[in-house]
Amino acid sequence: AYFALQVIYARRKYKISPPETTGHPEFERIFRAQERGEPQPHQDSASLSPAGVATVCGLLYLYTRFKYFQGYAVAAQGRLGPLYASARLLWLLLGLAVAGLLAHFLLPHSSAWVAGLAQPLQLLAA
């Protein structure tokens, strides 16, 4: 919603009516930043599971997308740092997902193993 509002404000500021997508260079940068960040929320919601490290990485990813938008709105080169950071976080999230799947399918699922994992969670819940 924040990104869409920024496009609306830029349209008003530079008097660019929809469906136009060209005009003042600052408007074009803001519009492109919003457009390129559009498909991300679907991926973000999956990364915000209650999995500790994955949650922190997901929140950091959302923050880097926010910084990407801000950087791109100012200058096209301003998007590069956050873009690389968000890509690294996506790779980390992918690695965590693969590690979780491997642990689930390859590690023994004895009752002692499950009890060992459940004990810290029970302590946190208490």
User: C-alpha 79: how far from its chain's center?
Assistant: 14
**12, 29, 36, 65: which is the annotated catalytic residue?**
12
**11, 65, 79, 88: which is the annotated catalytic residue?**
79
Q: Is residue 12 flagged as an active site residue? A: yes
Hey, what amino acid is at 70? Q
Distance CA 84, CA 64 (A): 9
> What string of DSSP letters covers 25-91?
HHHHHHHHHHHHHTTHHHHHHHHTSS-THHHHHHHHHHHHHHHHHHHHHH-GGGGHHHHHHHHHHHH
Q: Which amino acids are annotated catalytic?
A: 12, 79
